[in-house]
Amino acid sequence: MDSTLSLKPRGKGKGSKGASSSNDKSKYQLLKEWSNWSLKKAKVATHYGFIPLIIIVGMNTDPKPHLFQLLSPV
């Protein structure tokens, strides 16, 4: 009796643990993959967009410089 009683919860525990562990595993994997994907996209966005961002921010400050001043070498 005791053995069956003790087995049942263990079995249930194992079953539920098994299910939750696979769920947890996939959640963790999902989180890792999502964060990797977003970091890769952020890196590409920064690589191409940082200098244009500085130029846009700078061209909108007072006194506003002209586009000609940006492009001319003098």
Q: Does 43 bind another protein (CB under 8 A)?
A: yes
Q: Does 13 bind another protein (CB under 8 A)?
A: no
Q: Does 65 bind another protein (CB under 8 A)?
A: yes
Contact 50, 61 (CB under 8 A): no
Q: In sequence order, what are the residues at sequence separation of 6 or more whose Cβ sits closer than 8 angstroms to the Cβ of residue 63?
A: none
Piece in contact with another protein (CB under 8 A), picked from 1-9, 13-21, 30-38, 62-70: 62-70
Please tell me the chain's helix, strand, coil percentages from 3-state DSSP, rounded to the nearest 5: 85, 0, 15
Contacting residues toward another protein, per CB under 8 A: 43, 46-47, 50-51, 53-55, 57-59, 61, 63, 65, 69-70, 73-74
